[in-house]
Every structure is written in structure tokens, then in C-alpha cells.
Structure 1
């Protein structure tokens, strides 16, 4: 089995060394960078499977790094490490292209679980190549969404996962707690806020077909109607 190639972006040297050594003992190949500029160069020069990055860093912060990567790459998972825990900070992280976040201090085992969950997601998709949503073609294996013959939109991993869950249960209510339990390691206030961000993103992507809607069933969950 090929080893997972992970880019770790962390300017706290002691913490970075602990994470790097812990991951390497578990058969990860770890590239380490101290700032966003160097990280971008490493990312562009190597085949990276997943990125774990601190948010607050010198030269270029993690949010800026994620935005630059997302200009051309929607698929590589990004996990933010952050000492910030305010809801808006978490929301900003997801809006910048993050797939997950981990609040400091954290355990190495928790980080590894998050990494493996994101890496295993695409491999676990067992469905048709293309799913019809009104006038949209949704391809969960390729993480793409296309309206009629217009330009294909590449979804982020979390967008793809959420849309697939709603599609598999279309015209049925999916409870909020079910979504959170399946897609977020911690079913807490921050996870709930980040889920709302992704629901909003999907609604914008589906806005061209008035027959396709993600309804908010107050106090219960969501329903994709087609």
C-alpha cells in the first residue's frame, strides 16, 4: 500500500517535530514547512495527499495558503490546526477551503483519525459515476457538479460528501445530528456552524435549477427536493 504523503505546515518547531515523528512512525511520509510560502513551494513540487496547517504563521498564514491552493485544487484535503476557537474563526477556516479543523492542544491520535477519515472518504464511495439532480449532473467519484452543458464545477471533499448524503436521501429529511455524526468528528457548536456554511455553499451551487432545493426543516434537519 502506498504511504500517505502529508504536508505539515507549523512554525512551532517543537510541536512540528513531535507531530512529524509521530506520523512517520505510522508510515506517513511527512514534508514539513514553517510558513505558507515555503509550504506552497513544497506542495507545487511534490505529490501531496493531505495538508495539515496551522493558521497563525509568519510570512503567509494558513488561511491564505488554503485559498491559493483552492484556486486550482479542490480535492486535496486540508486540516487546520488552530488555537482560535471562536465560531467565526472556524467558519472562516471552512470558507477558505478547509475540510476539517483541530483545536490546540490536541492528541496525535485524534489528528491521525481526522487524517485517515478524510483520506478514506473518496475510496469508500460506492455509487454510480453520475447522478441526476434535476438539470444537474453530479459525479461524486470525481467530485464534480455540472449544470446542463455549462462549465464543470469541482466540489471540495466536504461539499461532495454532504451533497452525496443528501442525494442518497433525496426528498427525505436528514436529521442535523445524523449529518454531524457522519461527517464531523465532534458534534458540537463549531461543527454545527461549519455544517451551515457548507449547506449555504451547496445552495448557491444548485441555484440555477429552481426545482432543486435544499430545504431547512426547522429544528429537525435538511431535505433535498428534486
Structure 2
């Protein structure tokens, strides 16, 4: 089966990582053509690091500042086609490519991290993700009654999965190391390796971390599920205490 459309998530910019409120890429609505104009106004506004962007993706969910009717309504998502489906070449107004080799673990270089710059790229109005808010043909911004806390609900859920998966991976490794340290004896019949203080100083903190990640992962899962249910039930007062 041939897959024609391959997507990526283009949020991170050269000057702005997780600080979503500071993103600079703009999406300005033009009511005369019923289109958004996506633009990278500064060097720091260029998208950088999105996985799959460098060579593979044909489309992207681009996060940009929505501007319409003379006002800035903050960051919203837009579906943008980046490359031709015929020859995979960048479409007009797009500068897209791979960021090149990365420092550190070789595993990072297996990821297709890319860069992306927009030069007044026009997309239809219906390419805006309008589940939480909409822009009319006249350029009016309409807010839905969906709680704003759900905007990043999926990303919070993904973070919970990362913590839980880290717990599983660390638990397996610590289990193998602990068992080996118990059965292995230094110089044949002498003491078990686990009795050495230097071994304990390296092993026990990792063992404690494995338990901590597990407990925190389970707590985050419960918290996400509880908050999601209360938001769907239109609970207007949600007090989440982080311990």
C-alpha cells in the first residue's frame, strides 16, 4: 500500500521550544480570499526540530498566532501541505529541509528532524483546526464552549505515557542488575557484589527512581482521567493540587 500523505507536528521554533505562548509564526486571515496567510516574520520564528519534517512529511499541523479583524487571538493549529504529492518537492513559499547531524547519542540522528520557513503561504480557511474555535468568512473569531483546558489534553496524556514507559524500561534494567549483583560473588567464594558500598551507591538510587517513576506515572494517569471526566461534565470548578 502506498501512503501519499505523511504528517508531522510543527510547533517548536528556533527561538521558542516549549514556550508556546511566545511562538512567532503568524496566520493572518484575509476575508477577501477566505484564506489564511502563514508567515515566518523573524529568524527565530522558523520551525525547527519537528520529527519527520526534514525529508518525509508531506503535510504538517502548524501552530501559529491567529490574527484576524485586527486582533491577535493566540496560538492555533492549521493543516498545511508542505510538499508536492507528485515529486515531493517543497511547495511555493516553503523552505523545508533536514537540520543535519545532532550532538549526543547516535539515536538522535535516526530521527528525521526538520526546519521550516513560511513566506506568505496561503491556505484555505477550512484548514484551521476549528474544534475549539472558529473564524467566519467575515473574519470574526468565534469561541466554542469546549473548556480551554482540553487544548493540550492529549499532550498531557503523552507526557504521562513517557513517565510510565521510563518506569518500565528502568525497572527491567535495574531488575537484571540487582539479580546479577546478588548471585555474582567477587573472587569466587567471597562476598556478594551487592554488599559493596560502591555498588549500592550506583544501584539503589536507580532502584528508587524506578519505583518513583511508577508511582508518579500512575498518579498522572489518574489525574488526567479525573480532570478529563470533569471537563466533559462541564465542571466549572477544577482545583488540581500538585504535591
- Give the number of the structure with larger relative contact order, counting CA–CA contacts within 8 Å between residues 6 or more apart: 2
Q: TM-score, normalised by structure 2?
A: 0.21
Structure (1/2) with the larger helix percentage: 1
Indicate the structure (1 or 2) with the bigger Cα radius of gyration.
2
